[in-house]
Each structure stands twice: as structure tokens, then as C-alpha cells.
């Protein structure tokens, strides 16, 4: 055995620790709760030189999987972590990786697949992965996360397997709970265990080696055989798991079998259950044993390949099998693993009844008492065979009286409430521009907000002051679509909603597309005379800068298609909803949870994305930037945006908003800091109307403030004022200047 030390850590830390111990070459990743911390911990270690893994923040999980695949074809050791819809977005890439036979390790931190959106644990993501051709290991606690991560790579790279592998563990329960765990004192022992990356005998894309072609398409005759190779490799993986587990036991003293059994010796009822719930259920088993009930538990350590023989062996003497499943295959009367198990029993000529209960979806708590209730169903069935073999455990009919909250309680506002008549927009043919007249903003306080009070955003959050200020400029009804992000999460958390207007949430990548569909459907139904609504109805897609990273394609597509709608981005320079990871809009050198400040790296390594210019290049009728620091400017732009969206086509606007929590700025400084961003030239306020650029708030007309003023407001950037970071600050200033001068040139010339 190799020396180990005791630590107190959570599952995500253990996955990161295992990755650092192994010293993978590349991690391509995209943040999604609850898996994001894996990349964060690795970045934290990486900026201080504790490993050499190249952490690449992708544009989305699809991109992350692509980075991983590319790196694997280049002969690198590759690592990733994701959850739920992250897995769904990369799902297309998974069979590519397995079908072309490039090993890697992906941590799947189990979370419910949306919708409704839910960030908590269930196994619906895992079940989608079952058919991807990957080896899938499943762990119950942080110790197992560490151990299985080390074993997974060795299994994946084994000459008889050569498949990518998933390590699945429960979101929040295992990923975030800190436990007593053991890790190897010397990473070298882990590196020796997994061995050097073997490249001889395999095909990799490495310059100056004999060229190979990866990914040729196949016809059926050949494809069948490719798939059969994969099936054979999966079958080998069971044996290889046992071999690697034996070696790992010698290294660690911890033994992993294909399936863990607990109190199964003489059990008459056997509970089969995955991951953390198995540990929780053990105390129920103990309690029932103390009461003289012969019950036991079986937990697979691997579900792909499916350990059919090990399971049927473990269950061969029980009278009833109770299967707890944390995901369902709706309509199939059992989740996927129930059916896998039943098939295995059938093949083993066993007729043991299987009672399946779907439990714990979306993180619904599963206590030991729940495990006891589920196991007791086995006895119920023995007493009375009419007990339903399939059902949901933990649902309730509800209480219509107490459930009134979700029914309408306020009078729907007439459209006229949102029309003050004090804003005028007229198209000026001569200038090819819209002339806007806006009254003193005091007069617009008569217009109701589009959201009612009571959202759960942080104190000082700039999102809602920014959005509502923009909405002040819009006369008439709006229909809002949000992509996932803080603005959504804090305004529409069941059973609460803050929206006085129609509102739809859809996931990242799909907000602009969803709103395109809404708008076009409504126009068509109105055209056919089926419905009526005023021309002033305005369609607004609200996204954070994160949504404009992962959803850039959808936004550009929507811009190019010319729908009559507004895409409004609130830019807080990071993925704040998931815990302040960098976005492409994060400025150079800024600290985020995935761009830490350390001895070998200081903050984000490249400059911020200029989304407004990207969108302007789509030649939309109107593009603007705005902020609450210049309220009249923003309200005017809103009025123009409405005119263009009502009459011509798509509008894009970016509002810079403060995130005091993650900018580490004072709550009360929200307006001041975005003002400084404009006044120093970092975030110039301008518009591109029918292709012509106009700077609307000229920082040079007043006294332009130094970049240091802006940087100094925020804890995430204040380190740039230190002498050792002088070069980064200089580079920041130069980039601000270059972009500002370019903008000025556009302002000055009708041809740019």
C-alpha cells in the first residue's frame, strides 16, 4: 500500500484532486452546476503551479466536448466534468468519442435534466448517457469519486477497452458535501499506477508521425462491424474493471467490486439502488435488521457495461427485489436500470419479482426513513401480490386551498397602463434615422414596472434596474423570453413569478430562437385573423453575457433572419448565476472562479469579447450599448429599439450592469462603477443605426477618467493596480484605446 493522508473534502474536490494527481494534459470544460467546481478547484491549483493541466473554457458543452475529442485524437490525456443539460448539449459528441475509440474521463455530476429547470440531483442525465458507448462507473461518496476517477482512466486506456469513461456521482449530495476522505500523499504513486500515456500501437494526430485519417464515414456493412467492436470492448471492460480494482486495492487498501453488497448473505428482500442513496439506505437496512428483518442492499460500481452476472448472483436468493431509481423512462413502467436488471434476471432464468419505485427526482430528499418505506414494499408484496410493481415514491396530490399562490391574484393590466403617450418616435427620411423625444424621466414613473416586487436577486444587483430602465422607454406590451441566468432564476422560481407580462424561459442557446418562434407564430395567427394584438407589442429576449457566449449561434441566426424583436443582453462580465466563472466578456486580468490570481497566472488571459460589434456585423437595423449611469440615453435607445423592432427588424442591445457580489464592489457603488466603465472608455455608449455608428455619450466631451478609477472599484480587478501587474494594466489600457479609437473612426465616417 502507498502512503495516504486524511483530508476533509467534497466530491468535486476529490475529482479535481484525482485529475491533478494524474496530471491530465487537457480539460475542455463549460460551467454547469453542480459540476463547475471541478474546473474551479483545478484552476485554483493550476494558477499556483500544482499541476500542468491546460484548462480550456469552451463556448458551451458542445464545444467543450469537441476540445476534449480533439485533444484525445492528438494523443493527450483528457478530462472533463459536466451535469444534466451540459451532458445533453454535448451528447452528440459522446458517441463520436466512443465510436472512434478515444479514451478520456468525464465526471458526470448527476443533476436533473430540465425542464422545468432544476439544479439538484437525479439520474436523468446518467440515463441519457447509457447508450453513448462509454464505460460508466458510479460512486456513492467523495472517497469513491477519488478512487473511481483513478481507476476509470486505467480502465479506459486498457488495450482491450480503449473507450472513454464516465464517473457518475450525485450532484450536491456527493459533489458538495465535505467528508473524511483519504488521498495519496504522493501524486507520483497515482501517476505510476495509471502509467505513462501509451501512444505506440494507436492512431493519433501527431505531426511528424505517419499520418492517419480519423472519422471516415461508413456504410452499414462496415458500420455494423465498428459497433460490434465497441460492444466487444464494453464486454471486456467488466473483466478489466475487476483487474484494475484488484491492483487499486493493493495500492489503496480499498476494494471495489462490480457491485457492492451490504447485508445480502441471507437477505429475502434486496434493495438495488445507485450512488449516494445506497449509503443513506444502509442505516435503514441496519434498523430493519435489528428488528429481525432479513433485508440487504446492492449498489453497482459500474452500470456500463452492465454487471448482469454480478447482480443476478448477488440477488439469487432474495424473494423480492426492490429497485429504487432516481430517474424514469416515462411510459416504460420502470427506469432504464429496472429494465436492464429484469433482462438480466430473465437471461439467468430467474423469476424474482422486481418492485420499482421512482424516487428523489430533482433532488427531492431521500431520507433513511424513505429507504425503509421503499424496502418495506418488498414485504408488502410478499403479503399481497397486488402491490403495484411500478410507481412513484414521494408524490402527493396537493392542497388546492394552500396551493392558491400559483393562481391569478392580481388584475391583468390593460396595455394602456404601459402607454404614457409622452415618448414619440418618428422616422426621419432625410437622415435615415429615428427621431426620439423623451420626457423628463420623472414623468415615466407613472408607467408600471414589467416585474412586480419580490424577486430574489442580491442586494444592489444591476440587472433589474438596468432592465426596467430600458423598459421605461417602451410604450405598450412586451413579451419576454429569458435564457437561463440570474435574471430568470431570481424572478421565476416555483411557485413564484415576478412577471406582469407574458414570460417564457428557455435554456441557453435557445432564447433568440424561441422568441423568433413566438413572434412569427403571433404575426401569422394575427395575419389569419385568429387573434388580435397591437402593433406596439414588443418582443424582448433577455440574456446574460453567458447566454450570449453559449447562445451566440442562436443570436446571430436570429439577427440574420430579420425577425422583429429585441435581443437585450445584460453584461455582468461572467457566469454569475453558476458562481462567477469567466465569460468571454470578462476583461483581461480579472479574477473569476475559473481565472484565479496566483503565482503562475493572473486572472483572465485574454481581452473581453466585443459582442456589440459582432452583432453590428450582422447588419441589423439597430444595435446599441447602454447603462443605468446614463438613464436618459438608455431610455431613448429603448424607444428607438422599439420602433425598429415594431417596424423593421431585429435589434441587439448590451447593458453593462453591476454584480456587486462577484465584482466584489460595494452594493451602493453599482451605478458608479458602470459609470466609470463608460467614462474611462472601456464601455463606450453608442448606437449603430442602419449601419451608421454614433457615440451617444462621449467620454472626451467631459473629463475622461483614468482606467484605474474603474478597475479600482472592483475586488475582481483591483489587483491590477499592484506594481507586479503593471503589464496587464498597460495591455488593458492599450486595448481600450485601440477599440475606442476604432469606434471613433466609425463615428466620424459614414463608410465605416
Partner 1 sequence: MEFIPNKHGFVEIRLESIGGQGAYSVGQMLAQIGVEGSHLHAICFADYGSEKKGAPVKTFVRFAKDDVTILNYSPVNEPQIVAVFHELLFKTQPVTDGLHTDGILIVNTDQTPEQLRAMYNLNVKTIVTVDATKIALQYKTKLNTAMLGAIFSSLNFLDPTLAADAIEKMFGYKYPHLVEPNVSTFKDGMEQAQTHVFTDVEAGIAHTRKPTPFGYETQNQGGEIAGPNSYTKNLTASREGMMPEYLNEKCIHCSNCDNVCPDFCFVWEEGVDARGRAQMFLQGIDYNYCKGCLKCVEVCPTQALVSMVEERDYADAHRVQKPFDFLGGVK
The interface with partner 1 within residues 92-131 (CB under 8 A) comprises 115-116, 119-120
For residue 494, state whether it binds partner 1 (rule: CB under 8 A): yes
Cα(37)–Cα(34) distance, integer angstroms: 7
| Contact (CB, 8 A) for 78 and 26 | yes
CA distances, 387 to each of 366, 381, 497, 732 (Å)? 22, 5, 40, 69
Provide the minimum distance between the beta carbon of 457 and partner 1 in the complex, in angstroms, as a whole number: 6
Which CB atom, from 691 or from 712, has the smaller least distance to partner 1? 712
Cα(314)–Cα(127) distance, integer angstroms: 23
**Three-state SS string across 107-176, please?**
EEEECCCCCCCCCCCCCHHHHHHCCCCCEEEECCCHHHHHHHHHHHHHHHHCCCCCCCEEEEEECCHHHH
Provide the minimum distance between the beta carbon of 714 and partner 1 in the complex, in angstroms, as a whole number: 15
Cα(313)–Cα(305) distance, integer angstroms: 16
Dihedral of alpha carbons 412, 415, 419, 424, sign: positive
Of positions 451, 568, 638, 688, contacts partner 1 by CB under 8 A: 451
Cα(97)–Cα(72) distance, integer angstroms: 9
Provide the minimum distance between the beta carbon of 441 and partner 1 in the complex, in angstroms, as a whole number: 5
Cβ-count burial 465-478 (b if 16+ within 10 Å, e if not): bbbebbbbbbbbbb
Provide the minimum distance between the beta carbon of 282 and partner 1 in the complex, in angstroms, as a whole number: 5
Provide the minimum distance between the beta carbon of 686 and partner 1 in the complex, in angstroms, as a whole number: 20
Which CB atom, from 312 or from 491, has the smaller least distance to partner 1? 491
For residue 367, state whether it binds partner 1 (rule: CB under 8 A): yes
Which CB atom, from 179 or from 731, has the smaller least distance to partner 1? 179
Q: Bridge partners of 135?
A: 165
| Contact (CB, 8 A) for 584 and 609 | yes
For residue 8, state whether it binds partner 1 (rule: CB under 8 A): yes
Q: Is 459 left (phi over 0), alpha (psi -120 to 50) or beta?
A: beta
Of positions 345, 463, 651, 680, contacts partner 1 by CB under 8 A: 463
User: Which span (487-495, 611-619, 644-652, 721-729) binds partner 1, by CB under 8 A?
Assistant: 487-495
Which CB atom, from 74 or from 632, has the smaller least distance to partner 1? 632
Site string for partner 1, 611-650 (x = CB under 8 A): -----------------x--x-------------------
For residue 496, state whether it binds partner 1 (rule: CB under 8 A): yes
Half-sphere exposure (CA, 13 Å, Cβ side) for 276? Answer: 30
User: Which span (17-25, 147-155, 226-234, 275-283) binds partner 1, by CB under 8 A?
Assistant: 275-283
Of positions 54, 672, 694, 742, contacts partner 1 by CB under 8 A: 672
Secondary structure (3-state) at 22: helix
Chain residues 13-72 in contact with partner 1, contact rule CB under 8 A: 33-34
Provide the minimum distance between the beta carbon of 453 and partner 1 in the complex, in angstroms, as a whole number: 4
Which CB atom, from 472 or from 747, has the smaller least distance to partner 1? 472
Which CB atom, from 174 or from 717, has the smaller least distance to partner 1? 174
Per DSSP, 83 falls in state: -
For residue 283, state whether it binds partner 1 (rule: CB under 8 A): yes
Site string for partner 1, 405-444 (x = CB under 8 A): xxxxxxxxx--------------------------xxxxx
Of positions 201, 349, 351, 402, contacts partner 1 by CB under 8 A: 402
For residue 486, state whether it binds partner 1 (rule: CB under 8 A): yes
Of positions 66, 270, 378, 660, contacts partner 1 by CB under 8 A: 660
Could you tell me how many residues make up the chain? 752
Of positions 202, 427, 499, 523, contacts partner 1 by CB under 8 A: 499
Site string for partner 1, 516-555 (x = CB under 8 A): ----------------------------------------
| Contact (CB, 8 A) for 128 and 113 | yes
Query: What's the distance, CA 707 to chain centroid?
Result: 33
Total interface residues for partner 1 by CB under 8 A:
93
**Dihedral pair phi/psi, residue 247, rounded to 5°:** -65, -40
Degrees, nearest 5: CA angle 548-550-552: 50
Provide the minimum distance between the beta carbon of 628 and partner 1 in the complex, in angstroms, as a whole number: 6
Closest CA to 313 of 344, 286, 291: 344
User: Which span (182-190, 534-542, 558-566, 663-671) binds partner 1, by CB under 8 A?
Assistant: 663-671
Chain residues 573-602 in contact with partner 1, contact rule CB under 8 A: none
Which CB atom, from 299 or from 563, has the smaller least distance to partner 1? 299
Provide the minimum distance between the beta carbon of 368 and partner 1 in the complex, in angstroms, as a whole number: 6
Of positions 273, 323, 548, 661, contacts partner 1 by CB under 8 A: 661
Chain residues 683-702 in contact with partner 1, contact rule CB under 8 A: none
Enumerate residues 6+ apart whose C-beta is below 8 A from 623: 612, 615, 616, 651, 652, 653, 687, 688
Provide the minimum distance between the beta carbon of 67 and partner 1 in the complex, in angstroms, as a whole number: 28
Which CB atom, from 498 or from 516, has the smaller least distance to partner 1? 498
Of positions 373, 387, 419, 452, contacts partner 1 by CB under 8 A: 452
How many angstroms separate the first and last alpha carbons of the chain? 69
Which CB atom, from 9 or from 77, has the smaller least distance to partner 1? 9
Which CB atom, from 26 or from 285, has the smaller least distance to partner 1? 285
Which CB atom, from 195 or from 454, has the smaller least distance to partner 1? 454
Of positions 50, 313, 613, 671, contacts partner 1 by CB under 8 A: 671
Please report which helix (H) or strand (E) contains residue 260, including its range.
strand 259-262
| Contact (CB, 8 A) for 105 and 79 | yes
Provide the minimum distance between the beta carbon of 306 and partner 1 in the complex, in angstroms, as a whole number: 26
For residue 670, state whether it binds partner 1 (rule: CB under 8 A): yes
Using CB atoms within 10 Å of the CB of residue 729, give its burial: 0 to 12 exposed, 13 to 18 middle, 19+ buried.
buried
Chain residues 170-229 in contact with partner 1, contact rule CB under 8 A: 172-174, 176-180
DSSP 604-671: -SSPPP-HHHHHHTTT-SEEEEE-TTSHHHHHHHHHHHHHHHHHT--EEEEEE---HHHHT--GGGHH
Closest CA to 615 of 699, 543, 518: 543
User: Which span (73-81, 372-380, 403-411, 545-553) binds partner 1, by CB under 8 A?
Assistant: 403-411
Cα(602)–Cα(46) distance, integer angstroms: 11
Provide the minimum distance between the beta carbon of 442 and partner 1 in the complex, in angstroms, as a whole number: 4
Of positions 74, 187, 350, 457, contacts partner 1 by CB under 8 A: 457
**Dihedral pair phi/psi, residue 589, rounded to 5°:** 80, -5
| Contact (CB, 8 A) for 82 and 74 | no
Provide the minimum distance between the beta carbon of 710 and partner 1 in the complex, in angstroms, as a whole number: 16
Provide the minimum distance between the beta carbon of 326 and partner 1 in the complex, in angstroms, as a whole number: 14
Chain residues 369-398 in contact with partner 1, contact rule CB under 8 A: 395-398
CA distances, 669 to each of 589, 629, 632, 708, 734 (Å)? 21, 11, 19, 16, 26
For residue 459, state whether it binds partner 1 (rule: CB under 8 A): yes
Amino acid at each position: 500500500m502507498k502512503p495516504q493522508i486524511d483530508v476533509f473534502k467534497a466530491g468535486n474536490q476529490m475529482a479535481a484532486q484525482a485529475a491533478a494527481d494524474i496530471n491530465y494534459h487537457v480539460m475542455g470544460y463549460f460551467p454547469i452546476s453542480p459540476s463547475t467546481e471541478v474546473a474551479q478547484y483545478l484552476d485554483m491549483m493550476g494558477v499556483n503551479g500544482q499541476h500542468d493541466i491546460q484548462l480550456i473554457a469552451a463556448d458551451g458543452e458542445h464545444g467543450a466536448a469537441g476540445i476534449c475529442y480533439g485533444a484525445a485524437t492528438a494523443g493527450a490525456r483528457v478530462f472533463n466534468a459536466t451535469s444534466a443539460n451540459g451532458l445533453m448539449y454535448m451528447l452528440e459528441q459522446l458517441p463520436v468519442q466512443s465510436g472512434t475509440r478515444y479514451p478520456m474521463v468525464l465526471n458526470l455530476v448527476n443533476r436533473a435534466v430540465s425542464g422545468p429547470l432544476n439544479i439538484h440531483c437525479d439520474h436523468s442525465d446518467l440515463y441519457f448517457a447509457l447508450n453513448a458507448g462509454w464505460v460508466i462507473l458510479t460512486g456513492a461518496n467523495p472517497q469513491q469519486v477519488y478512487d473511481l476517477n483513478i481507476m476509470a482512466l486505467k480502465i479506459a486506456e486498457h488495450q482491450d477497452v480503449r473507450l472513454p469513461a464516465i464517473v457518475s456521482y450525485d450532484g450536491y449530495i456527493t459533489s458538495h458535501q465535505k467528508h473524511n476522505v483519504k488521498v495519496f500523499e504522493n501524486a507520483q504513486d497515482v501517476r505510476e499506477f495509471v502509467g505513462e500515456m501509451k501512444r505506440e500501437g494507436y492512431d493519433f494526430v501527431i505531426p511528424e508521425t505517419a499520418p492517419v485519417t480519423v472519422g471516415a464515414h461508413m456504410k452499414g456493412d462496415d458500420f455494423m462491424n465498428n459497433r460490434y467492436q465497441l460492444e466487444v470492448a464494453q464486454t471486456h471492460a467488466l473483466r478489466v474493471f475487476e483487474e484494475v480494482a484488484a491492483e487499486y486495492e493493493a495500492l489503496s487498501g480499498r476494494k471495489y467490486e462490480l457491485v457492492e453488497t451490504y447485508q445480502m448473505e441471507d437477505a429475502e428482500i434486496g434493495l438495488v439502488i445507485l450512488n449516494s442513496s445506497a449509503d443513506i439506505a444502509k442505516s435503514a437496512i441496519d434498523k430493519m435488521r435489528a428488528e429481525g428483518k432479513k433485508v440487504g442492499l446492492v449498489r453497482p460500481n459500474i452500470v456500463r457495461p452492465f454487471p448482469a452476472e454480478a447482480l443476478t448472483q448477488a440477488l439469487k436468493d432474495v424473494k423480492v427485489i426492490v429497485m429504487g431509481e432516481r430517474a424514469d423512462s416515462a411510459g416504460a413502467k420502470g427506469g432504464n436500470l429496472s429494465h436492464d436488471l429484469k433482462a438480466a434476471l430473465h437471461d439467468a432464468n430467474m423469476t424474482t419479482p422486481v418492485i420499482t419505485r421512482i424516487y428523489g427526482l430533482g433532488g427531492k430528499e431521500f431520507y433513511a426513513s424513505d429507504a425503509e418505506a421503499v424496502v418495506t414494499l418488498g414485504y408488502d408484496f410478499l403479503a399481497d401480490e397486488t402491490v403495484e410493481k411500478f410507481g412513484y415514491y414521494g408524490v402527493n396530490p396537493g392542497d388546492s386551498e394552500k396551493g392558491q399562490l400559483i393562481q391569478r391574484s392580481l388584475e391583468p393590466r390593460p396595455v394602456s397602463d404601459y402607454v404614457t403617450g409622452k415618448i414619440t418616435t418618428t422616422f426621419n427620411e432625410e437622415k435615415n434615422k429615428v427621431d426620439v423625444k423623451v420626457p423628463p424621466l420623472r414623468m415615466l414613473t407613472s408607467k408600471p414596472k414589467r416585474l412586480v416586487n419580490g424577486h430574489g436577486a442580491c442586494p444592489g444587483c444591476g440587472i433589474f434596474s438596468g432592465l426596467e430602465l430600458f423598459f421605461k422607454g417602451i410604450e405598450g406590451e412586451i413579451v419576454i423570453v429569458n435564457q437561463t441566468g440570474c435574471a430568470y432564476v431570481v424572478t421565476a422560481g416555483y411557485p413564484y413569478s415576478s412577471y406582469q407580462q407574458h414570460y417564457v424561459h428557455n435554456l441557453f442557446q435557445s432564447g433568440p430562437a424561441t422568441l423568433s418562434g413566438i413572434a412569427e407564430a403571433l404575426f401569422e395567427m394575427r395575419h389569419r385573423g385568429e387573434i388580435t394584438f397591437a402593433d406596439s407589442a414588443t418582443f424582448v429576449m433577455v440574456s446574460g453575457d453567458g447566454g450570449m457566449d453559449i447562445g451566440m449561434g442562436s443570436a446571430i441566426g436570429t439577427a440574420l433572419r430579420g425577425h422583429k424583436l429585441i435581443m437585450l443582453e445584460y453584461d455582468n462580465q461572467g457566469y454569475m448565476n453558476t458562481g462567477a466563472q469567466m465569460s468571454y466578456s470578462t476583461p483581461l486580468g480579472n479574477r473569476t472562479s475559473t481565472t484565479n490570481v496566483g503565482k503562475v497566472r493572473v486572472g483572465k488571459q485574454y481581452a473581453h469579447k466585443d459582442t456589440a460589434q459582432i452583432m453590428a456585423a450582422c447588419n441589423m437595423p439597430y444595435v446599441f450599448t447602454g447603462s443605468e449611469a446614463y438613464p436618459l440615453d438608455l431610455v431613448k435607445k429603448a424607444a428607438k429599439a422599439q420602433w425598429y423592432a415594431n417596424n423593421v427588424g431585429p435589434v441587439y442591445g448590451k447593458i453593462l450592469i453591476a454584480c456587486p457580489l462577484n465584482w466584489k464592489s460595494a452594493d451602493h457603488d453599482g451605478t458608479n462603477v458602470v459609470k466609470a466603465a463608460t467614462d474611462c472608455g472601456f464601455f463606450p455608449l453608442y448606437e449603430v443605426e442602419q449601419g451608421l455608428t454614433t457615440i451617444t455619450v462621449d467620454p472626451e466631451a467631459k473629463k475622461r477618467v483614468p482606467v484605474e478609477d474603474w478597475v479600482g472599484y472592483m475586488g475582481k480587478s483591483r489587483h491590477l493596480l499592484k506594481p507586479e501587474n503593471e503589464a496587464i494594466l498597460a495591455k488593458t489600457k492599450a486595448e481600450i484605446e485601440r477599440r475606442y479609437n476604432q469606434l471613433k473612426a466609425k463615428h466620424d465616417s459614414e463608410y465605416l
